[in-house]
């Protein structure tokens, strides 16, 4: 069992559709949303949440996880104050920009 599962106020919620993504703080809910190309284990989710906590110093109440079949590979992480994406599509977009500038 991971630390996320031991923490009573933090729940990993698996979402079925992108329309259900919640990224902004509402009431007592302070979420972090993780979108990935494949299903992530509890340990992988925990590592991502810990890394974002170190960067943002935020304390999240809910973790929303969505597997997005449209992603080639990678993950994106979103909170109400932070966004990070390391996906296949993002890498291809950045490569296209570099090639266009040359």
Per-residue pLDDT for the chain (102 aa), expressed as one digit of tens each? 344 444 444 567 777 766 666 677 777 778 899 999 999 998 999 999 999 999 999 888 889 999 988 888 999 999 988 999 988 888 888 889 999 886
What is the predicted pLDDT for the residue at 80? Answer: 87
Record the tokens describing residue 54, joined without a space. 């170190």
Model's pTM, two decimal places? 0.75
What is the predicted pLDDT for the residue at 6? Answer: 40
| Helices assigned H by DSSP within the chain | 3-6, 42-56, 88-101
What is the predicted pLDDT for the residue at 7? Answer: 47
Residue 89's contacts (CB-CB under 8 Å, 6 or more residues apart) are: 71, 72
CA distance 2 to 19: 28
């Amino acid at each position: 069992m991971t630390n996320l599962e031991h923490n009573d106020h933090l729940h990993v919620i698996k979402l079925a559709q992108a329309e259900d993504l919640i990224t902004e703080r509402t009431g007592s809910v302070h979420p972090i949303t993780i979108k990935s190309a494949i299903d992530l284990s509890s340990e992988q989710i925990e590592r991502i949440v810990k890394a974002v906590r170190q960067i943002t110093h935020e304390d999240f109440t809910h973790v929303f996880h969505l597997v997005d079949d449209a992603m080639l590979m990678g993950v994106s992480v979103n909170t109400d104050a932070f966004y990070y994406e390391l996906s296949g599509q993002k890498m291809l977009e950045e490569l296209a920009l570099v090639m266009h500038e040359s």
